[in-house]
Amino acid sequence: MSTAELHDTLHIRPVTTALGAEIDGIDLSGPLPGNVVAELRQALLDYQVIFLRNQNLTTQQYLAFSETMGEPMDYPFVKGLPEANLITPVLKEAGETTNFGGVWHSDTAYLEEPPKATMLLAREVPPYGGDTLFANQQLAYERLSDGMRAMLDGLIGVNSSVNSNNIRTHVDRDVPQLDTNGSSGFIAEHPVVRTHPETGRKSLYINRGHTIRFKGMTAEESLPILNYLFDHQVTDEFVCRFRWAPGSLALWDNRSVLHYPLNDYHGYRRAMHRITLRGDKPR
């Protein structure tokens, strides 16, 4: 992979060899030509997470851009902005110590049709800290042994909106506790190894925030394998790190990427706006 690639209109700089690219030469505040939209969509498939800086968009401009990349969808548990209910505020006040979604996860894996992609726009960031990590789950799958891949290919993961092992995202904290058999709340069963509907590549599709066990096994039986995979899937070589600034926008493929917002900026406010794009049932 080259240090920088020049597409027809976009200047793309890979962040790491694993995933991630920063894109220059584009202003998202107005309508985009079809070829530019096509290049952005291809860049997302190629790099799995793309970053665009200095995008000081109004609420409506942000929503309009999201509609060129997919279909915005409601997010469970969290109310959207009064003026745009499909945009979810992701906020940590200066006096808070718990951040939003503060664990490695893919968004809402407990839904029957989880989002295909998520975008996050920085409105206010701390003077330091608050970076987000992203992990390539295609690489995570490919770097497993042949025997482990063969075993996982037939397994189904049970994903819940409240993790019984106290590994819960911030948005789940007001939802009634769910036991390991999924007796309340959102719950969905998905392949542990999913096939990307656009590229055909396989990736791990479990995450520490939501996957509680394998179908047909108890939580206790599942936990040793899950814990190994949870650690493996965020190995340093699969990860990139993004430092935010006001107007920074990240767009990632929720079907093959985990993310983790670092909680290392106590005493400062961080305000982001998130949009999730409708996906399909993992296969």
Give the chain's radius of gyration (CA, Å): 18
Q: Name the 3-class secondary structure at 173.
A: coil
Catalytic residue among 107, 208, 253, 273: 107
Annotated active-site residue in 123, 196, 259, 273: 259
Q: Annotated catalytic, 105?
A: yes
Structure tokens at 182: 């999924």
CA atoms within 13 A on the CB side of 257: 28
Tokens of 189: 């069963």
Give the active site residue among 105, 123, 213, 270.
105
* Catalytic site includes residue 7: no
Spatial separation of the C-alpha atoms in residues 129 and 278, rounded to whole Å: 30
As a whole number of angstroms, the distance between CA 172 and CA 160 comes to 10
Active site residue 266: no
**Active site (annotated) includes residue 107:** yes
Interatomic CA distance for residues 136 and 133, integer angstroms? 10
192-194-196 Cα angle (round to 5): 160
Which entry of 196, 208, 273, 274 is annotated as an active-site residue? Answer: 274
Q: What residues are annotated to the active site?
A: 105, 107, 259, 274
